[in-house]
Amino acid sequence: MSKTRIAFIGAGNMAASLIGGLRAQGVDAAQIRASDPGAETRARVHAEHGIQLFEHNAEAIEGADVVVIAVKPQAMKAVCEALKPSLKPEQLVVSIAAGITCASMHNWLGAQPLVRCMPNTPALLRQGVSGLYATAQVSPAQRSAAEQLLSAVGIALWVDSEAQLDAVTAVSGSGPAYFFLLIEAMTAAGEKLGLSRDTASRLTLQTALGAAHMAVSSDVDAGELRRRVTSPNGTTEAAITSFQAGGFEALVEQALGAAAHRSAEMAEQLGK
């Protein structure tokens, strides 16, 4: 990233978070430009990150090595078609729009080197994880630039087929909401067992955080960690047996399958 020039099309939440991550990694403000139709957004992002902002997208991409398109999926077609005449063949386009396929992007942009990413919401706190897919036109140096870009807001992992991005969407893209659901359910159950809402909530949240830290830092997998804390005939075993009797694993598989299916379905609709 030492000399890479990056342009962001759209300076909303995800773009601002990536810009903040890049700046925190020492990328110079002069290497980053962005465009956004909102005068207030432009003023805010300039004040926070010191980068230059433009009203018109074509101005922002002048001289950029990497063009990150960070607008809502519904705006992608119009934005890409309008950018096409200004793009240079060597400019890497990175799309973070959920559900927009490389085939759609190529239809709208031409045969531009393209990396399609699926980040998730914790990227806003630089705690995200993204799946990345590169088309054949992307050079090793461009792959590396895209990986470093997404690493500014968390972990970046490559997948080797675009279809796997539907699975990434099902696991990590929608994943934060599954943990929120579990947090909600555990908090409500704690209240039913006689705790105050505040105590049940704080116990649940710190347990989620502690368990995630343990799982991330451990050299054994989550299954082994669970077995280690599940004594025969103990309280944890009583809860796990109850979860499994209710078909917990099958339910999770079914839920993620539904998310992946919906991701593929939405890509088809958004690509029209």
Ligand X SMILES: NC(=O)c1ccc[n+]([C@@H]2O[C@H](COP(=O)([O-])OP(=O)(O)OC[C@H]3O[C@@H](n4cnc5c(N)ncnc54)[C@H](OP(=O)(O)O)[C@@H]3O)[C@@H](O)[C@H]2O)c1
Task: Return binding residues for NADPH.
Answer: 57
DSSP state of 121: G
Query: Which C-beta is closer to ligand X: that of 14 or that of 138?
Result: 14
Q: Does 35 engage in binding with ligand X (CB under 6 A)?
A: yes
For residue 34, give both structure tokens: 């962005």
Beta bridge partners of 156: 130
131 contributes a contact to ligand X by CB under 6 A? no
Record the tokens describing residue 14, joined without a space. Answer: 């995800």
CA distance 4 to 81: 24
Calculate helix-pair angle for 13-24, 140-151, nearest 10 degrees: 100
Residue burial 226-243, b: 16+ Cβ < 10 Å; e: rest: eeeeeeeeeeeeeebeee
Measured from the CB atom, is 200 or 259 closer to ligand X? 259
73 scored as a contact of ligand X (CB under 6 A): yes
User: For ligand X, which residue of 7, 11, 80, 114 counts as binding (CB under 6 A)?
Assistant: 11
Q: Among 77, 180, 167, which Cα is nearest to 118's?
A: 167
Q: Binder to ligand X among 112, 121, 187, 204 (CB under 6 A)?
A: 121
> Looking at 84-92, 113-121, 138-146, 244-252, which segment touches ligand X (CB under 6 A)?
113-121
Two structure tokens written together for 165: 């991005």
The minimum distance between CB 31 and ligand X, in angstroms, equals 20
- Indicate the annotated binding residues: 9-14, 57, 70-73
Our finding on whether 79 is near ligand X (CB under 6 A) is yes
Contact indicator for 80, 69 with CB cutoff of 8 Å: yes
Cβ-based nearer residue to ligand X, 75 or 183: 75
Tokens 């990175």 sit on residue: 94
List, as residue ranges, the binding site for NADP(+). Answer: 9-14, 70-73
Which residue, among 90, 110, 85, 98, has the nearest Cα to 14 in the 3D structure? 98
Q: How far is the CB of 108 from ligand X (least distance, A)?
A: 13
Binds ligand X by CB under 6 A, chosen from 62, 72, 81, 224 = 72
* Sequence-ordered list of residues with C-beta below 8 angstroms from that of 57, at least 6 positions apart, any chain: 9, 35, 79, 82, 83, 86
Residue closest to ligand X (Cβ): 12
The tokens describing 169, both together, are 């969407």
| Candidates 25-33, 47-55, 118-126, 197-205; binding stretch for ligand X (CB under 6 A) | 118-126
Q: How many residues bind ligand X (CB under 6 A)?
A: 25
* Nearer to ligand X (CB atom), residue 35 or residue 201: 35
Contact positions with ligand X (CB under 6 A) in 42-61: 57
7, 53, 64, 70: residue in contact with ligand X (rule CB under 6 A) = 70
CB atoms within 10 A of CB 255: 14
Angstrom distance (rounded) from CA 109 to CA 247: 46
Asked if 115 touches ligand X (CB under 6 A), the answer is no
Chosen residue from 98, 114, 149, 153 binding ligand X by CB under 6 A: 98
CB-based contact 53:46 (threshold 8 Å): yes
Residues that bind ligand X (CB under 6 A): 9-15, 35-38, 41, 57, 70-73, 75, 79, 96-98, 119-121
